[in-house]
Amino acid sequence: MNFREATFQALQEILLSNQRDFGEIYLVGGYIRDHLLGCTSHDFDFVIKNDAIKDARIIANHFNGAFYILDKTRQTARALINIEDERIVVDCTLLHPHGILSDLRQRDFTINAMAVDLKKPDDLIDPLGGYEDLVRKRLRLCNDDSLLLDPIRIVRSVRFTQSYSLSIPTPLKEHIRETCVKLVDVSNERLRDEIINLFSIKRFIGSIELMDELGMINFIFPEISSLKKIPPLKPHVNDAFTHTIRTINTMSELIRSVLFENYELHDEKLFEARQVLEKYINNLKKYFLKELTPGRTIMALAHFAALYHDATKSYITAVLQDGKYTFPGHAEMSAQLASQRATTLAFSGIEVDFIQRLVANHMIEETYFRGDKKTRDLYLYKFFKKAKLSSVAVCFLHLADIKATYEEKLSNERWANALECVHQVLDGWFNRYDEVVEPKKLIDGYDLINEFGLKPSKSIGNLLETIREKQVSGEVSSKEDALEFLRRHL
């Protein structure tokens, strides 16, 4: 091992300078794995013989970062620091009482069971053959009881398999299926964090399919399994469950084509969509990487919402109209179900609101974009008022939903209409925010009270909203215009 990376050396120096108090210190897990693969990592895991919590606090204080106790009983703490504009996560845990070899044998998978003594950073400690498993691209447990010791590792098996293109031996697959019932013992917070980690990996495609194959969906997203009962109904070419998977995968491809350089899109229509999105590339990157709660990006939340966008269709009677089946009210009902699941998984209030709005508004009314500017801008304003921050993510889910509905039968005209609609929404959000998202206020409630003698009430808010709509549609443009309109209106 040859660690020349500046962040590692800075952490090494701090930890070794305090080694007299803390005893043996080892770097373990993901950073070593990624280093062997030539990948960049910003996550460091240290196991420390004595007082790991105090060591994490020392690191946080040194870099003026944040400090959290993750598990006081197990002596686990985290420091969140910034070095050269990069956010670094440093976890410190108490070393196994029988030493580093016992510590590694208690870990999840062999590819994560390698260590380096900070005093001897050139020597790799690899008792379980993790490096060979990396080379051979296979996932192996550190011990037969690994999943029972911590069932969250069941979900991690999917993330590691997808992230590093690993294969899961058939016996391990069977073991995972048999152990999935133990997921009910995992805390909602830990399950949420592992879901977010999975939704955030670069090679996400195929993750939901693998979760379903291994039997996890029933225990993590129980509402989604019922979609398997809905057969292909026109215009859908897939059953509802397959459609959901195709939608989340397609949306994932579009988002990742924006975030990751040289991300290849092999589908012609998605390539056309990427060309439309190119006009907003820098803004889109900032948007999807924005964290509504530390560590949880809009990209990950959008994936959660996409999984639930049709979740209640199995509870609604399909209606045949003009040769197509619809499920009246499914967007709003699915939004409510998604918010309930997100709340159960301990997402924050702002995240639950984002998810609910994204699901509720995932079907953009494209007909309004075929009218004049007045009609289009007024629709945009009302749409942004309902969808709020989720508005941009709605565009990606809308395109993915359409593509997954028609698949190869998607006509060029239908796709062109969807792309134009998305272009107008993104242009409104990023380029015309002061016109159609948050127009400058021409008047306020005090003006109405002073000018017309109105008393404070809900009606004042309704009148102000009427003025904003007239402002967006170009019918009023000044305070005088607004007051004159209200004189006629009142």
d(C-alpha 81, C-alpha 107), whole Å: 25
Phi first, then psi, for residue 443 (nearest 5°) are: -140, 165
Whether pLDDT at 147 is above 60? yes
pLDDT tier for residue 445 given thresholds of 50, 70 and 90: confident
> Residue written as tokens 């949880």?
296
Q: What is the pLDDT of residues 189-199, one digit of tens each?
A: 999 999 999 99
What is the per-residue pLDDT across 48-106, written as a single tens digit (0 to 9) for each? 988 888 888 988 998 888 988 888 777 889 999 887 777 889 999 999 999 999 999 99
pLDDT at 3 (0 to 100): 61
pLDDT tier, 47 (very low <50, low <70, confident <90, very high otherwise): very high
Instruction: Place 285 in a pLDDT band, splitting at 50, 70 and 90.
Output: very high
What the block records as the tokens of 166 is: 């690993």
Arithmetic mean of pLDDT, 309-320? 93
Query: Could you give the domains of the chain?
Result: 6-139 (3.30.460.10), 144-220 (1.10.110.30), 224-437 (no CATH), 445-489 (no CATH)
Query: How far is 21 from 487, CA to CA, in rounded Å?
Result: 78
- What is the reported pLDDT for 98? 93
Distance CA 198, CA 106 (A): 23
Q: What is the dihedral of CA 362, 363, 365, 367, to 10 degrees?
A: 130
What is the predicted pLDDT for the residue at 2? 58
How far is Cα 286 from Cα 302, in angstroms, rounded to an integer?
A: 14
Q: Write out pLDDT tens, residues 341-354.
A: 999 999 999 999 99
